[in-house]
Structure 1
Amino acid sequence: MKTIFVATVAIAGLCSAYPKAARDWKPSDLGDSRSPCPLLNALANHGYLPHGGRDLDRDTVLGALKEAVNIDRPLTDIFFQAALNMTVPLANATELSLHHLIQHNAIEHDASLSRPDAFFSSHQDVFDPAIFAETRSYWPDPVISVRQAAAARLGRLQTSNRTNPAFELNKTGALASVAETAIYLIAFGDVEAGTVRREYVEYLFEHERLPLELGWEKSKFVLTQAHLEAMSGRVVAETNSLLHGASVMDATADLQSPPAGDEL
């Protein structure tokens, strides 16, 4: 996979009783800038990013992801630069706002785990409970495995392809989709086992809040590009297995772009 696209959306979903790194949480206010990414929104709600979500420079974004979830600065820098290039409508921009990431088919894409397709709504910054209910239906156990995470992503692709007459998943979107799944597995779960507690992921998506109250702690080691690429590869492998195995879900033959393999 092309590193820049994998990294782009990987980054493209803390009270005195918790660790000292914790920050108070406040939900977004009317007029705040928010993105399709629950993790970035959570960082703004916690104050790692400015609560308004606007005019974010490189050092602010790199520092926020390092402090909050221990993602290393080089990986975040790839994301930040790509986001500037693809979503900010200003030449030589040095800052972005979270709402810039809503631009369809730049970083945001069809078949989100928790947002409506652009054909149905322009509010990709807003969590959609019905869409997330479909995603959750593929997580029957208290711990989500890589296979279940891949199944949820694939199920959303199939539903979107079947119901959205303007469905499109270009290569950037496909790689972003894989990376988004990989990032919640590595940032909130066990990197080696490829598992994550379901309640952590649900809490992040539903509340746009880090799941510290549930016992989650940020990784004790720095999460790098190598971790992201390795987990992305595992998601792709499980996707291929689902597509070609007996448990394959309906409509796989009709996926427009891409149909299978590393493109997914």
Structure 2
Amino acid sequence: MKSKTLVAAFLLLAFNAFSQTKLSIVFIGNSITQGKGGDNGFPPPTHAVNYLKEQKGVDDVLFANAGRSGSTTVDWLPGTGKYFTLATTAADSLFLQKDHQLLFSIKLGTNDSAIEGPNGAPVSKENYKKNVQTIVSELLKRYPGSKAIIHHPIWYSTNTYNRSKYLAEGLERLQTYIPELDALIGEYKVTEPGRVFKGDTKAFKYFKKHAARLFKPENGQQGVFYLHPNAEGTKVLGEFWGKAIRKNIP
């Protein structure tokens, strides 16, 4: 009886050891991904990782924040874009951690939707989808066994106008990207099963509803606008991302 108990205990320990999730995450995005909520604040990727580390079954999380302010999907295209090598440089290092699952967390679209200013803007919904597909497919090809999770972009106010011009037209265009992302993820379920997942879908409405609490008020050419999350907002957004990652990468 005692030997059976010891065997059962050993099997339980072994199961727990092998069921622990270890992640290596490369965060790809724009200023919302790169930026801090305020003085001495942390960007959303740090909050996402902190959330994941607190979850049962998550043993370790390594990460790199490759977000770049002002960037569009055009900037991230492999070969022709400015920033794709940032993602691959980070991934090359993290990919060496063979006991970790390499994951690309992607949130792009805000700058693509602008009327003018960012590189390539305005980007049509068709080209936005094509650009995201090109980026993701190249990453999956370069890193066998890697996975990608694509988050919906978040809301911004219709008077957003800093050096770049967004306004109501930009926000309307941004919202046309969301069905394109969902369709693309559906296509990957067939072409790359188990490798591409839908990330956060809730932050858009949540940030719109709580804009005054979660955004930095910024002075622009059409008054005070909301575009970048503040210290509380970066934490909230990071946790939305963390929850989506945990749900899809058990």
TM-score greater than 0.5 by the shorter chain = no
Higher strand share: 2
Higher helix share: 1
